[in-house]
Chain A
Amino acid sequence: MPEIKVTPLGAGQDVGRSCILVSIGGKNIMLDCGMHMGFNDDRRFPDFSYITQQGRLTEFLDCVIISHFHLDHCGALPYMSEMVGYDGPIYMTHPTKAICPILLEDFRKITVDKKGETNFFTSQMIKDCMKKVVPLNLHQTVQVDDELEIKAYYAGHVLGAAMVQIKVGSESVVYTGDYNMTPDRHLGAAWIDKCRPDILISESTYATTIRDSKRCRERDFLKKVHETVERGGKVLIPVFALGRAQELCILLETFWERMNMKAPIYFSTGLTEKANHYYKLFITWTNQKIRKTFVQRNMFEFKHIKAFDRSYADNPGPMVVFATPGMLHAGQSLQIFKKWAGNEKNMIIMPGYCVQGTIGHKILNGQKKLEMENRQTLEVKLQVEYMSFSAHADAKGIMQLIRMAEPRNMLLVHGEAKKMEFLKDKIEQEFTINCFMPANGETTTVITNPSVPVDISLNLLKREMALGGPLPDPKKPRTMHGTLIMKDNSLRLVSPEQALKELGLNEHQLRFTCRVQYRKTEFTIFIVLFDLLLKKCYTIQHLPDGTVMVESIVIKVSSSAEEPNTKVLLLSWSYQDEDLGSFLSTLLKKGLPSGLSSM
């Protein structure tokens, strides 16, 4: 049986370093190639040796698809393509292609320049890697080769995030990447058509969450920021450079404008400007409001938000600072946090998910004393708030997507095992489909039942049409006679005569015969039988030699020499009239309580 295999190298019952291998219809596809925020060693990248122990990956992979530009989905890309070695095509959407190298370069800088790591990919490698990228448009079907095709759908989440449908023949897999089912201030909601894939691979970050309406969240967020600023405190919002940051910026920008607030808002990293540039550019990927109003004013041209300088952190008075990275594990956000953590007037708002092991995760769990490098401890006095602003689908959203796509099987990745378990139960119960949640390195195999296309000869079809009414009834399957010829990698259904002709074979007739013995006294049954047949509109012919033909069935009555009291009924029918023949024979036999018959 044909099957589809899915093996997560990362993100299996885990968040971070998304990397999923899919084998479908003889093609191998890598979905995402990310890094893990929580680790600084080899575990940072997916284990590519799973694919091959030595040598390049090119011959084992047909293509690589990157869903969006977050580092946990593309961070390992230059390592894979340049250091491990892969020369095949890498697919991503235009915005992802534009923004991805900026983030990779930033990541490289932090790792190499700040932490002093060696044996890391270089700027040149990023450039070389990006040269292998083939851009995708939304809803554009891209033919990777003759059989494999991929198609991108809008996923919300961040600018340029896409869900991908991978299709070989009639088998298909949809990978969602990260997606968001509720629209926000700058992005729309994910959408997919009823493509009924064999497997839907979905993220499940918020498998057990059902979020409040986003308006409540927005209001809460604004209120918290407003209150802190009013009493002169500083607000730190750790974000990843792109994505939520823009969302929150738009939110604060409009709020500042409306409330006529004076406190400065800063954005910490230099790459923001570059990134905002891309947001301005890819306006078609944003939501309805921004798309419709950008002629008057591009929402990404911020009036109140200025670039941050390191020295500003010590300025007196209230301010709001967006700083990267989002999980407080390194970089500027961590530096500012250290400076502000001691003052209870200040506030930190964690707008998203934090991986275990990061400082973000620790303070969210209420840790009041943090151990820093050099055995220093940091006391956390500032208020810690959590506002779920990360643009992942919640449990309800995931269910909604399943309903939209109607998959035959479900596979969960990018989430915590415990939570996945819960959602898995729900899915199986609600949709009565199988749901899988493989761990890293574990392979899930799904047996598919692909439809096999067969060419049918027009003559045969017409003949069938003539036989059974003008319109095929879509509600009922219909049987037909024909010969299936499998030849030269193609399947054809033709009429038997044509098949014989093509194959140069002779036609053999197959006939069944059957003999029934009657006593003379019981012979009346024969007459009853004929009446019955006549009523059913069968053509009955009496031949000169005493035989009777019912359609093509021959019925011959002869008296046996040994037993004069009995008569022998000889039935003979061709294979084509099997239905009628067997009907007749059983009828005749049933009618004879003591009848003897032989075939």
Chain B
Amino acid sequence: SYNTSKPLPQEEAPAKKLRLTKPSKSAALHIDLCKASNPTDALQYLLHFARSSVEAESVEGVVRILLEHYYKEQDNSVRLKIASLIGLLSKTQNFNPESILDDTLNTFNTEKSHQVLAQLLDTLLVIGTQLPESLIVRHRLIEVAYKHLSDTYFGVRNKCLQLLGCLGNVDTPLNKDGQGLVPAVIGDAQSLISDYFADQDPRVRTAAIKAMLQLHERGLKIQQTIYDQACQLLCDDYEQVRSAAVQMVWVLSQLYPESIVPIPSSNEQVRLVDDSFGKISHMVSDGSWVVRVQAAKTLGNMLQVSPHFLEQTLDKKLMSDLRRKRTAHERAKELYASGEFSSGRKWADDAPKEKVDTSAVNLIASGACGAFVHGLEDEMYEVRIAAVDALSALAQSSASFAEKCLDFLVDMFNDEIEEVRLQSIHVLRQISTNITLREDQLDTVLAVLEDSSRDIREALHELLCFTNVSTKECIQLALLELLKNLTKYPTDRNSVWKCLKFLGCRHPTLVLPLVPELLSTHPYFHTPEPDMDDPAYIAVLVLVFNAAQSCPTMTALFSDHTFRHYTYLRDSLSHLVPPLRLPGRTQAPGVSGIEGSGSVESAQLFLQQSLSRISTIHNLQDPGAQDLLNFTIRDLQRLGELQTELAGAADFSATYLRCQLLLTKALQEKLWTMAVPLCLKHNAMATAAAKQMLEETYKLEFLYSGLENRQVATIHHVRLQAKALQLVLTARTRRGVEPLISVCEKFLQEVESFQRLFVVELPHLQESFVGKLLDLSPKLSACKPGELVKILQTTLRQSGFLNLQLPKQVQRASATIIEPTGESDNPLRFTSGLVVALDIDATLEHVQDPHNTVKVQVLYPDGQSHVIQPKPGDFRSPGPHRHRLITQVYLSHSAWTEACQIEVRLLLAYSSSRLCKAVWSDSSTEGLQPAEGATEGTIPFGKPVKVFIMPKPARR
């Protein structure tokens, strides 16, 4: 597992030059070192030498020369440098360090300096990691390490332990044939290392623990006997020891969770994982924050801990000691409930009332008591975040713990660091599925809606979508606060509506009693009709309608205008308003096809039906085919608007069909048979169609996620058709064969690469354009351009319609620019020639890898355009398949006379080669990526936004 540390090859120089310098390399070094009159010079030469690269063949020679000087050299620092150089050289690629092992080992016989010894051991470590397979080498190295373990210098002991950790026998000793070489002691690296847990030097202690962890990582099962030692190390004076010991204890707790350990000073016993959980919890109040972070993180990985220990972590007042846990738990609780300790919330409640049986209560909790209370209150936010994360991990595995930690998480919403607040909101969302918020908790949660940070507010909306509440007051409270939020931050509109939709869905029975109040209906009087454009009113309606969906009695409470508004909203905001079964109202006929039941299933069915209807077309030249395509495209577009779940699939299909329609139109004309000069207009139309088809294919390929091989093949197929059309058109318009030859060749190459890429899909493409083309393929490559064009023309016309198979989930990438809104009439003024920063805030959905693909384009009125690549840090991911881009783009221009609009839009950059790699990485064609097929480009997505800017001339 250590091969990974090999450096990159350093063979950049041309081979010829290398050969020339090769013999002189070691010689030059030799001469240099001989020339050196004093250690400083020698060191300089060595340092200089270290910068140059040595090829594998000459390494051995160089090492010999170095060692030769090593023995002559009196100065420690020079010897140390030589030792380190040997280590460096042994990492040269293609060099087998085994050949220099003996020589290196020999140096140990004479070396007196501890520092140099440590460096030599480091070199051995490098050599050893290069040769992980060779048992003999490992044994020899371990032997050396063993010999020097008792060195007085800490560095040497450190390195020895490191060697033992990296190379020590992982298999149980005495079962390998290397036995004869090695004394039994060396075989058992574990006990050897554990002896150094009590070394006098903290650095050695740390190294010993790390070596042990290393052994563990390499697959050795650490013995449980070490547990006590590891626990003692938790109280070490030095933080790095404690930090490593926390890891060690954790490893042991994962290895032997169920074994029973005795509790000192009593005859009770606990599970080891509980014991270690208590001990690590204790470390959350350690003096060093590094240890605290480590401990808090580790707690989150101890899921096997017993529930009552887990729950103690949230209890600060419970002061029962771990030792007396089972017997004193209840008693301790009573004591503190009886007011022995005051809470600090009431004056003078801290007068001791009765003498306590002090043996039963321990102030200092050596158990898990209050670990998280401490962790969440820590001064360093690193610790707090670690604690929040650990809470999340533990709460997800235990519902009762989730219930208990709720209060603490809610408290964290008031943390002074935004990162912590955000993290705790996210965590609460993750665990909120099995939690019901109480009113006071909800109150605290909702208070955060006024936060000025958009991230926080949106995270909170997200949380509210998943929250269960218990009373109708809670619903009212939530609605009130959300409406407040809406008036304060109107841009949150969509987010708030969405939030209310889920609230309504989840709590129909709680909404029901509120309806008259919410809709301000009155039993006798007509109330004025509310303004339909008021976002707050829409918000209320969204809540009510979603609740009414599963509460049929609710509709009886609606007034007339409510029904009207329902119909309106059902149409305009169909993603927020569900279909309702309205009593006494028959659905308007005509829309029944989709809206009758309105469910996703029926929409899906409709989609399938439409597509299968299309599939009856065999040839695009069939009469009526065009009309059918036209209708279906219209249907699909409408479906996409109505059913957001299917928008991706519907759009995808519609676009594909549009491509086919374009092709049909371009081919259909009788004009094809006419002489060229007579049909210029038609040519122009066909050329435009071909171009549009090409563009659409890129959109199809890169704008939709969830595509499978089959669809990609279909898209590429359309692209080939488009290119064939282009080729035919080129042939018609241009005279002469010369330019045509290269175009034809290129086309044939593309056909070939298509064949290569979609070898699996070819059976499905039999009747299609490509299928027919491939049937003719041997003839194609031989024929002349003119013939080829003819073939293409007929094949295009005669080939069958390729049916579209829809994958399960197609999602269209979309982007919405929230900021700037484009509504402002105040131009952004700045001095021309200087820059002005424009804040961009956009949400991206279903965009894969936005860090690389999403770009911002700025279009100036004079046609200038700039494309800006946002920083990776500007992207956040608030939810699955969702990204948020918050960035600044810098604008600049020379002076204008008056304010003008610039256009800001988002682009999705694609590169077909990159995508090929991503899609085909596991297929057999890997490594055959057609570089010639790589097209790069950008697709604009999302609506562009116009911004007024006004560059003014600089005042002198």
Contact = CB atoms under 8 A, between A and B. Distances in A.
Nearest to A384: B347
A288 B350 contact: no
Nearest to B448: A258
B78 to A, nearest CB: 27
B364 interface: yes
Interface stretch (B214-222, B376-384, B625-633): B376-384
B228 interface: no
B379 A287 contact: yes
Contacts of B452: 258
Interface in B374-418: 376-381, 408, 411-412, 414, 416-417
B373 A418 contact: no
B377 A214 contact: yes
Contacts of B373: 213
Interface string B304-320: 00000000000011010
A185 B346 CA distance: 22
A188 B344 contact: no
B200 interface: yes
A395 B365 CA distance: 12
Interface in A278-306: 287-289
A211 B411 contact: no
A159 to B, nearest CB: 15
B152 A400 contact: no
Contacts of A423: 363
B358 A206 contact: no
Contact of B344 (A287, A394, A419): A394
Contacts of A219: 411, 414, 444
A213 B410 CA distance: 13
Interface stretch (A54-62, A160-168, A424-432): A424-432
Interface stretch (A230-238, A338-346, A467-475, A505-513): A467-475
A422 B348 contact: no
Nearest to B199: A474
Contacts of A396: 316, 363-364, 370
Interface residue tally of chain A, by bracket? 35 or more
Nearest to A186: B416
Contacts of A475: 198
B285 interface: yes
Contacts of A216: 411
Contacts of A260: 450, 488
A192 B379 CA distance: 15
Nearest to A430: B364
Nearest to B321: A430
A388 interface: yes
Given A194-B237, A254-B416, A426-B363, A215 B343 contact: no
A209 interface: yes
Contacts of A254: 416
Interface in A190-231: 191-194, 206, 208-220
B347 A210 contact: no
A183 B376 CA distance: 11
A474 B200 contact: yes
B287 A288 contact: no
Nearest to B381: A288
Q: Interface of chain B, helix or strand or loop or mixed?
A: loop
A189 interface: yes
B152 A471 contact: yes
B568 interface: no
B344 A212 contact: yes
Contacts of B793: none
B888 interface: no
Interface in B319-372: 319, 336, 340-348, 350-352, 358-359, 361-364, 370
A561 interface: no
Interface in B762-780: none
A215 B363 CA distance: 22
A364 interface: yes
A365 B348 contact: yes
A387 interface: yes
Question: Which of B352, B416, B451: most chain A Cβ within 10 A?
Answer: B416
Nearest to A470: B150
A525 to B, nearest CB: 42
A210 B379 contact: no
A418 B352 contact: yes
Given A210-B341, A475-B198, A215 B377 contact: yes
Given A209-B341, A217-B344, A183 B364 contact: no
A426 B319 CA distance: 12
A208 B411 contact: no
Contacts of B447: 259
A208 B341 contact: yes
27 contacts: A206-B344, A208-B341, A208-B350, A210-B342, A212-B316, A215-B376, A215-B411, A215-B414, A218-B414, A219-B414, A219-B444, A220-B345, A258-B450, A260-B450, A350-B347, A364-B347, A364-B348, A365-B347, A386-B347, A394-B344, A395-B341, A396-B363, A399-B363, A419-B350, A426-B363, A429-B358, A475-B198
Given A423-B363, A430-B362, 12 more contacts: A210-B316, A210-B342, A210-B343, A211-B343, A213-B376, A215-B376, A218-B414, A259-B450, A288-B380, A364-B348, A386-B345, A388-B345
Interface of B: 150, 152, 198, 200, 237, 285, 287, 316-317, 319, 336, 340-348, 350-352, 358-359, 361-364, 370, 373, 376-381, 408, 411-412, 414, 416-417, 444, 447, 450-452, 488
